[in-house]
Structure 1
Amino acid sequence: MILEVAILEIKPGLAEEFEAAFKVASTLIASIPGYISHELQRCLETKNRYILLVRWEQLEDHTIGFRQSPNYQEWRSLLHHFYDPFPRVEHYESVLFNP
């Protein structure tokens, strides 16, 4: 499993609109082969900051399967105008898991 991590800085005053658009966009990512799950969390200390965690079966499910799909173009049009600056996206693999 691969964990995609993105810290999202949302332009001031647009948090509610972003959350509503994200709910719509969630269906786009969830339909991609290799998608496992995702969660969006709001930061308590920094207003307008969110973290997006997406679990994929393989790295290519995100970097090729999603990013080269028509769904990604729709995702972009729904969400990318909310970001300032544009988020850095990184991918992680598990080294130790202790539930």
Structure 2
Amino acid sequence: MIRKIWILFSSFLIILLIACNNTDNKPITSDVTSTFTGTITEIYDQTALVHIDEGEITKSGSRVHVDLSKNSETTFHVGDKVKVGYDGEVRESDPLQINVVFIEKVE
């Protein structure tokens, strides 16, 4: 009896893990609720400090930390103009903090 319960539980867990797996490396754009554009002013390991040029986020502040690892195919430099998509949540600190969904260079 315990063996049958264990097999059933294991099967359920495996199915759940397979269903939650996102194998494509494309950004999940359905999570994006807001975007802004800005200019990179400082770069750290995998994050950057961005001065916000346009977007609703300017109501909360003018600088934001951005996770550059969301676009590992692009090399970013200080002075680059970027467009950032995020989930809409803004942690009001100085600089602001957000949950980045995508980041891309703009001309």
TM, length-normalised to structure 1: 0.21
Between the two structures, name the one with larger relative contact order (CA 8 Å, sep ≥ 6): 1
Larger Rg: 2
TM, length-normalised to structure 2: 0.20
- Comparing both structures, which one devotes a greater share of its residues to helix? 1
- Comparing both structures, which one devotes a greater share of its residues to strand? 2
